[in-house]
Chains A and B, each alone.
Chain A
Amino acid sequence: MSWLFGGKSTNQEEQKATQTDDAQLRQKLGFDPSQVSNVSDVIAAPGALDVSRLHPLAGLERGVEYLDLEEEQLSTLEGGNSLIPSRGWTDDLCYGTGAVYLVGLGLGGSYGFLEGLRNIPANSPGKLQLNTVLNHITRRGPFLGNNAGVLTLTYNLINSSIDYFRGKHDPAGSVAAGALTGALFKSSKGLKPMGYASGMMAGAAAAWCGFKSLVL
């Protein structure tokens, strides 16, 4: 009833006098029985619907629980902390693939840029020079970027699956994921290329694990 008797009014003083009389009863009931005329008065009385008193075991006083967003929480996988905080396998996938794809695109693009500079036809106008360089960049950059991106995508998918089944993350799982990725990448070329690609990807995964353990 504080919304009604919020101000300093004579009504409030009068109310206080009557309230002191049956303070004992109010303590026991949670509301002032002398004020009660109907049900909504009881409900609206301050303290009557005190959630900690209403049901102590239900934990109602913790507030609204749907604000604890599930997807906000960081991943708690053992040994799974990486360079940036991750909320799960989708974050690992997106950040890993994006970073490696961009690095591949940049490296391939720089190589194509240098190659294009070397292959500029002699005595050509400026527009043709620019076009030559751009053609070389767009030939080399996306090729390297796409392959590196696909490799990382597969690696991240396999790695997250291995982590999920084992319940933890360690370098052995990473290296195994790298070996599987390389084998899958060259799986249509025969056993020998598969072995080479597998070894190279396992080495790359091991190098990444070593780098992470150095930095972290």
Chain B
Amino acid sequence: MSVAPGSAIPMVSLRSVDKHFGDLHVLRSVDLDVAAGEVVVVIGPSGSGKSTLCRTINRLEPIDSGQVLVDGVPVPAEGAALARLRADVGMVFQSFDLFAHKTVLDNLCLAPVMVRGTPRAQARREALELLERVGIADKAGHFPAQLSGGQQQRAAIARALAMRPKVMLFDEPTSALDPEMVAEVLAVMTSLAEDGMTMVVVTHEMGFARRAADRVVFMDAGAIVEVAPPEEFFAGGGSARTRSFLSAVLSH
């Protein structure tokens, strides 16, 4: 959970990043550094730009101006160089997005074999270990549609981990899940955080932010309003905007 000592270069760095969707200014001069091993949880109201921020890190959303660096390297604009960078950045989506025509095991093996050139037997072995780790080893031969939402999301996390990423991005990983399945996914994410994975997590799960975050980033209207360690953030000493958001989400 702690920041690795001596890591001068941030694992992820956003420098005065701006982005528009037409007239909508979705990211306003965003600056954010995420150190290696750090867990940053991004929260904020809908439309605040937190998902967009997450998606700029592997350039699923191109930016208008500014700079995004991963492990000190500027994210390439396109082509093979961008694909290589993306291979090192794991991503987990709200809607799981497992490959529907592949078994869970094949979902995990596909990218290591096709992108990294990992021998099939080794990819298989590592995939089974990962499935064990996220608690669905018994589902290896099943197809995604045969799994519950929580199981699918755990498989999706394992699929991203199979590439041995330097950093993991989570874009609202529990928003599409039934409440009882949220816990099993958050448990996997918490153990990942404890193992020292660098993580950027966009979520509405305040409990996860409290428990697992090194820092909480609060966004509103495309800008970062506040960055603070969770105990400080949830103590309510921040800006008026932060306090009104917290009183709204924590009241129920």
Q: Do A and B bind each other?
A: no
Task: List residues of B whose CB falls within 8 A of some A CB.
Answer: none
